[in-house]
């Protein structure tokens, strides 16, 4: 207990110390190992800071894009022309999008060998789901609910990226979203804060490993702080307006989980939140993150987001924007050219306190020390390692493993799946089946086009059946070039006839339909979320020829596929699964992997239901009041229920849930157990999910919330008792002042294989 207290005291002292550098780090002989380690870096940071001119300090806070503009408009002003000059003067602290050992070495050499103080650059890159070898899009990985596989996926991504000179990833994106129209849902973990928090932790641990100073670990970045996924109408970059309850209970928890897992950096966001652009919000960055949460790392802005405060109509000009951003707690300027050009004079004019600059610089230098860049700035620059690691078998195996686990079986009538391995005539239809680029999805800047295993290749790796392929129709017209807009207005149906003919001759038709990999991602919002182009018509035309259809979906967001659900006997949600996509899909279709994925996001029946999410509130009129009455919360043309709920997913076997028991351990601790039995014929995995409802509270609570899950693998007829412990963290919630409380009263638990779970029990918290 005594030690515990000492750590608490020392670490809060440290905040002050790190923030203002006034106290002596060795002032107390009570230092624990933890504080000694941190303080030794603080001493080095302070010593270096003391040597720096104001301009050199501001240089550390300046991040430049290397050589090509990947996202966002290229800056209109001519500042980009000064990048090399600034680099040589020591006015650049970080670069992004420089990649490959050769290139990274070049820029690092300028920083280390040509500047006065030789401070190494931190090299950032969007390693979102893999680097060269691509794992499933993050939303797909979230569908695995397999935290170990997700962590491993981040781990191997870090190994590949670090081998290529990168030491900082702008991931994980931990934005919660309830709107499938938003293109960046592909990049997150879905709609639920509990699942997303555990995934945030797994990803941070995967990227950063146990020791940040090793050459194969990289600093992670929790983004976008905060609210970006709640853009109005799902339109990217749009306004965000959310109440305190949603902010604290839904949006912030995954960020807090990333912070608790030791994430070294945060990124702020393009959006405004309740009238204040996130980049200029002291409430978010200073009060919550660096204050309440005691975050010790640094905050990078999103691309050009300091300047965007001007177009938000929040800042008068760039100088004003720079002043707002630094005062609000943004430490590093990504591509606004605002800090490098404006901060020094703002300090000289007394508009910005130099201690804020010192604090930002210390945070940035700290991470560079932690990465070991001062010991060896070229530690990530080893050509031999680069050659050996990229695309290695270990990495390929890890991305295949998580790809299989990410697949969700949505429907399987008459056990059409798994497919027989011998003697079948299989027609594969759909342009996406033969696409080796689209499965890489969005955000895979370093991966080469055409490097994914297509469904066709994956299926052909099994030799026992006769396979024919017909495209049927294109998914998009014209080029698919990042970051250009995709043209979806496909009208050409000339491929239908031969696809229909192939379907007629086949025993089974496998149709691969959905979105191109670049239909989702940044700037890729859609107002209709059905199958793009003429794919729906193709599906209906093939259905007339042969009803034995397995529909394999490739997509970066939930789609509205109500017709398919009505008519098609088997539906497999295969997202965009990355480099090993085709093998993963084939192994599931043939039953070599029994699907175990569960949806991390609700699938609506139509787009008008959006935002639709399982953990909604009750409202005052949740059900029909009197027969025929209209006075309840509903639509006249569609039911309130989704097409597929959060947490839903089938297996080639079946499971039963029985013997739900609740056991009170203490005032604020309850144990819930349930018996899971494999009632089918094959071995399978089930994600046992526990949902909780606080029956009444001082702030209205959701109808249910995920508060525990466990993945269980069982042989046919085998059973297992699964036990969950619910304590304060699960029972409580944040009130409208941001305070976490457990309120006494009645709680209901629901346990089952999706958020529709009906097996229920109640308990009281005194």
Q: Which residues are catalytic?
A: 302
348 exposure class (CB count in 10 Å sphere: 0-12, 13-18, 19+)? exposed
Which CB, 168 or 691, lies closer to ligand BGC? 168
Residue 406: closest CA among 588, 571, 550: 588
Residue 109 burial (CB count, 10 A): 14
Which CB, 458 or 521, lies closer to ligand BGC? 521
Which CB, 270 or 734, lies closer to ligand BGC? 270
Among the residue ranges 24-32, 70-78, 286-294, 620-628, the one whose residues contact ligand BGC (CB under 6 A): 70-78
562 exposure class (CB count in 10 Å sphere: 0-12, 13-18, 19+)? middle
Contacts to ligand BGC from residues 161-180, by CB under 6 A = 170
Does the protein bind ligand BGC through residue 303 (CB under 6 A)? yes
Contacts to ligand BGC from residues 483-522, by CB under 6 A = 522
Which CB, 278 or 660, lies closer to ligand BGC? 278
Size of interface with ligand BGC, in residues (CB under 6 A): 10
Between CA 207 and CA 214 the distance in angstroms is 11
Residue 449 burial (CB count, 10 A): 13
Residue 264: closest CA among 153, 158, 182: 158
Does the protein bind ligand BGC through residue 159 (CB under 6 A)? no
Contacts to ligand BGC from residues 97-156, by CB under 6 A = 126
Among the residue ranges 13-21, 64-72, 151-159, 489-497, the one whose residues contact ligand BGC (CB under 6 A): 64-72
Among the residue ranges 66-74, 82-90, 405-413, 433-441, the one whose residues contact ligand BGC (CB under 6 A): 66-74
Among 57, 129, 223, 704, binds ligand BGC (CB under 6 A): 223
Which CB, 170 or 469, lies closer to ligand BGC? 170
Query: What minimum distance in Å lies between the beta carbon of 223 and ligand BGC?
Result: 6
- List all residues 6 or more positions away from 501 whose beta carbon is below 8 Å from its beta carbon: none
Does the protein bind ligand BGC through residue 302 (CB under 6 A)? yes
Residue 426: closest CA among 453, 463, 475: 463
Among the residue ranges 69-77, 247-255, 273-281, 380-388, the one whose residues contact ligand BGC (CB under 6 A): 69-77
Does the protein bind ligand BGC through residue 72 (CB under 6 A)? yes
Does the protein bind ligand BGC through residue 754 (CB under 6 A)? no
Between CA 755 and CA 709 the distance in angstroms is 11
Does the protein bind ligand BGC through residue 308 (CB under 6 A)? no
Residue 175: closest CA among 217, 206, 221: 221
CB-based burial, 658-684: b 16+ in 10 Å, e otherwise: eebeeeeeeebebebebebbbebeeeb
Between CA 584 and CA 400 the distance in angstroms is 6
Residue 342: closest CA among 316, 365, 381, 380: 316
Among the residue ranges 22-30, 65-73, 362-370, 640-648, the one whose residues contact ligand BGC (CB under 6 A): 65-73
Query: What minimum distance in Å lies between the beta carbon of 515 and ligand BGC?
Result: 20
- Residues 704, 692: contact at Cβ < 8 Å? yes
Between CA 703 and CA 222 the distance in angstroms is 29
Which CB, 80 or 662, lies closer to ligand BGC? 80
| Binding map of ligand BGC across residues 516-555, x = CB under 6 A, - = no contact | ------x---------------------------------
Which CB, 302 or 573, lies closer to ligand BGC? 302
Which CB, 168 or 750, lies closer to ligand BGC? 168
Does the protein bind ligand BGC through residue 64 (CB under 6 A)? no
Among 31, 60, 62, 71, binds ligand BGC (CB under 6 A): 71
Query: What minimum distance in Å lies between the beta carbon of 131 and ligand BGC?
Result: 14
Query: What minimum distance in Å lies between the beta carbon of 265 and ligand BGC?
Result: 11
Cis? peptide before 600, omega within 30° of 0 = no
Mapped onto helix, strand or coil, the DSSP state of residue 345 is: helix
Q: What is the DSSP string of 557-619?
A: S----HHHHHH-SEEEE-----TTHHHHHHHHHTTSS------SSPBPSSGGG-S--TT----
Structure tokens at 241: 């307006």
Binding site for ligand BGC (CB under 6 A): 70-72, 96, 126, 170, 223, 302-303, 522
């Amino acid at each position: 207990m005594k030690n515990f207290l000492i750590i608490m005291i020392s670490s809060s002292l440290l905040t002050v110390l790190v923030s203002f550098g006034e106290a002596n780090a060795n002032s107390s002989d009570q230092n624990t190992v933890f504080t000694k380690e941190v303080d030794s870096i603080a001493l080095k940071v302070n010593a270096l800071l003391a040597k720096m001119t104001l301009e050199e300090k501001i240089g550390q806070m300046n991040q430049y894009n290397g050589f090509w503009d990947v996202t966002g408009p290229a800056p209109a002003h001519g500042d980009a022309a000064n990048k090399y000059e600034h680099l040589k003067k020591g006015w650049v602290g970080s670069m992004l999008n420089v990649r490959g050992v050769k290139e990274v070495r070049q820029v690092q050499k300028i920083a280390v060998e040509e500047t006065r103080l030789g401070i190494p650059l931190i090299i950032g890159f969007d390693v979102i789901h893999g680097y060269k070898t691509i794992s499933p899009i993050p939303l797909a990985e979230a569908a695995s609910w397999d935290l170990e596989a997700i962590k491993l996926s981040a781990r191997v991504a870090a190994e590949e990226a670090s081998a290529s000179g990168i030491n900082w990833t702008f991931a994980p994106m931990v934005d919660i979203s309830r709107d499938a129209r938003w293109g960046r849902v592909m990049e997150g973990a879905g709609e639920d804060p509990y699942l997303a928090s555990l995934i945030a932790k797994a990803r941070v641990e995967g990227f950063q490993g146990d020791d940040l100073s090793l050459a194969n670990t990289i600093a992670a970045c929790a983004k976008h702080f905060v609210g970006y996924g709640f853009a109005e109408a799902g339109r990217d970059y749009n306004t965000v307006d959310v109440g305190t309850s949603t902010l604290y209970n839904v949006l912030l928890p995954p960020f807090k989980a990333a912070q608790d897992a030791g994430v070294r950096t945060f990124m702020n966001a393009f959006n405004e939140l309740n009238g204040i652009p996130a980049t200029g919000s002291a409430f978010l960055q200073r009060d919550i993150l660096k204050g309440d949460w005691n975050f010790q790392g640094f905050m990078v802005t999103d691309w050009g987001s300091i300047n965007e405060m001007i177009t938000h109509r929040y800042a008068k000009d760039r100088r004003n924007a720079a002043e707002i951003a630094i005062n609000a707690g943004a430490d590093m300027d990504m591509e606004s050219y605002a800090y490098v050009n404006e901060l020094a004079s703002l300090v000289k004019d007394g508009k910005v306190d130099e201690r804020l600059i010192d604090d930002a610089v210390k945070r940035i230098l700290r991470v560079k020390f932690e990465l070991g860049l001062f010991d060896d700035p070229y530690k990530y620059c080893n050509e031999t390692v680069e050659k050996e690691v990229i695309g290695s078998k270990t990495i390929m195996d890890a991305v295949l493993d998580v790809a299989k686990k990410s697949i969700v079986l949505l429907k399987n009538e008459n056990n059409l799946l798994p497919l027989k391995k011998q003697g079948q005539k299989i027609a594969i239809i759909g342009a996406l089946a033969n696409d080796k680029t689209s499965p890489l999805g969005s955000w895979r800047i370093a991966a080469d086009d055409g490097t994914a295993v297509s469904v066709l290749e994956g299926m052909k790796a099994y030799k026992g059946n006769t396979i024919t392929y017909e495209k049927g129709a294109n998914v998009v017209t014209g080029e698919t070039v990042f970051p250009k807009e995709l043209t979806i207005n496909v009208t050409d149906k000339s491929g239908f006839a031969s696809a229909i003919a192939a379907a007629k001759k086949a025993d089974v038709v496998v149709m691969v339909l959905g979105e191109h990999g670049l239909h989702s991602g940044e700037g890729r919002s859609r107002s209709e979320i059905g199958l793009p182009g003429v794919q729906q018509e193709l599906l209906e035309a093939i259905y007339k020829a042969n009803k034995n259809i397995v529909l394999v979906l490739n997509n970066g967001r939930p789609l509205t596929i109500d017709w398919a659900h009505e008519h098609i006997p088997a539906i497999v949600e295969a997202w965009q699964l990355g480099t090993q996509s085709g093998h993963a899909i084939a192994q599931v279709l043939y039953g070599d992997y029994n699907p175990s994925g569960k949806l991390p996001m609700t699938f609506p029946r139509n787009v008008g239901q959006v935002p639709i999410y399982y953990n909604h509130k009750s409202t005052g009129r949740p059900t029909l009041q009197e027969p025929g009455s209209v006075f309840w919360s509903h639509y006249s043309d569609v039911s309130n229920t989704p097409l597929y709920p959060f947490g839903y997913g089938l297996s080639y076997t079946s499971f039963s849930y029985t013997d739900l028991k609740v056991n009170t351990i203490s005032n604020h601790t309850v144990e819930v157990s349930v018996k899971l039995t494999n009632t089918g014929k094959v071995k399978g995995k089930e994600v046992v999910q526990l949902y909780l409802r606080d029956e009444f509270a001082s702030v209205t609570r959701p109808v249910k919330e995920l508060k525990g899950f466990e993945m269980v693998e069982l042989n046919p007829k085998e059973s297992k008792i699964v036990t969950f412990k619910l304590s304060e963290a699960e029972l409580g919630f944040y009130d409208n002042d941001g305070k976490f409380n457990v309120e006494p009263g009645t709680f209901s638990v629901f346990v089952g294989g999706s958020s529709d779970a009906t097996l229920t029990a109640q308990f009281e918290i005194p």
